[in-house]
Amino acid sequence: MKQDTASILAKPGLLSIVSAYILWGALPIYWKLLTTVPAMEVLAHRIVWSFFFLLILLLVSNSLATFRQEIRFLLAHPKHAAALFAASLLISANWLVYIWAVQSNRIVESSLGYYINPLVSIALGLLFLKERLTLWQGIGCLLALSGVLHMTWQLGSFPWISLFLAVSFGLYGLCKKVIQVGAVSGIALETLLVSPLALFYLTQLSQQETAAFSTQGTAILLLCIGTGAITATPLLLFASGVKQLPLKIVGFIQYLSPTLALMIGVFVYGEPFSFSHLISFAFIWSALLVVSLGETSAFQTFEKRFLRTAA
């Protein structure tokens, strides 16, 4: 066991994965720098510049030929093309709500969404992929539901931002299971599909002389262009690292991102985190702990014995 742990820690993929999740967790800081730019305009820039940035990377890495092959494959397989189009709409909606949430001082609520996301993915797998729900996953989902209901009851408002982010990203992952393209090519194709709409929107703003990139100075323009790099960089790190690590390790590290975002929201931007928040988050954290431990051999053995006894 010690040797296995040491070998995992020594792998360069670990550094890539940790770096990717740290960058994703730190994204609120970048979106806060663009608070003076409407969320829809930030999204349009993110889509356009992400596509150009990824296109350059495909060119530099001599992957354009593979990219063209994947386009031809999608054109020949309507099911995969439809899944890609759905994925592009879902990730665009997810980006928009997340950017708006950060700009609206709701980082804590958005971080909750990404804690819930793995549990939503379990539910989607049960509904659409006919995957079997384990005892521990069932307990985890009930705990997560309790956390959401507690927040709704105590705070007097339904945490729609959290659930929208969790469900939209969960559905995005479901679509990605159908699409047989590489990680970089996939996001390049997704942004390519919605880039015409984003470009049209930015052109309209420019013609009306209301575009932030032309009225708020060079610094804002450079930050808008930088949205491509801050989108693509963690993606590339993740794509590189995930090939070298077991998925259970990657699954554990993923909680680094919402944890960092939560800390940034509370300690950097002073968002409220009341006792009611703590109780709701505790339900979610307990759910994730139960689901994670449920993957261990000891818990799986206990589950088999419990089910035999119950039968």
- pLDDT given at position 120: 86
Burial of 217 (0-12, 13-18, 19+ CB in 10 A): exposed
Q: How far from 193 is each of 39, 82, 98, 99, CA to CA, in Å?
A: 20, 11, 20, 20
- pLDDT given at position 119: 83
- pLDDT given at position 307: 56
**3-state DSSP of the chain:** CHHHHHHHHHCHHHHHHHHHHHHHHCHHHHHHHCCCCCHHHHHHHHHHHHHHHHHHHHHHCCCHHHHHHHHHHHHHCHHHHHHHHHHHHHHHHHHHHHHHHHHCCCHHHHHHHHHHHHHHHHHHHHHHCCCCCCHHHHHHHHHHHHHHHHHHHHHCCCCHHHHHHHHHHHHHHHHHHHCCCCHHHHHHHHHHHHHHHHHHHHHHHHHCCCCHHHHCCHHHHHHHHHHHHHHHHHHHHHHHHHCCCCHHHHHHHCCHHHHHHHHHHHHHCCCCCCHHHHHHHHHHHHHHHHHHHCCCHHHHHHHHHHHHHHC
Return left, alpha or beta for 105; rule: phi > 0 is left, psi -120 to 50 is alpha, else beta. Answer: left
Least confident of 117-121, 167-171, 223-227: 117-121
Q: Which amino acid is at 63?
A: S
Does the pLDDT at position 250 exceed 90? no
pLDDT tens string 88-112: 999 999 999 999 999 999 999 999 8
Give 239's pLDDT tier (boundaries 50, 70, 90): confident
Distance CA 98, CA 161 (A): 8
Mean pLDDT along residues 275-290: 87
Does the model's pTM come out above 0.75? yes
- pLDDT given at position 304: 63
CB 60 within 8 Å of CB 141: no
pLDDT tens string 127-139: 887 777 778 888 8
What the block records as the tokens of 296 is 């261990």
- pLDDT given at position 6: 47
- pLDDT given at position 5: 46
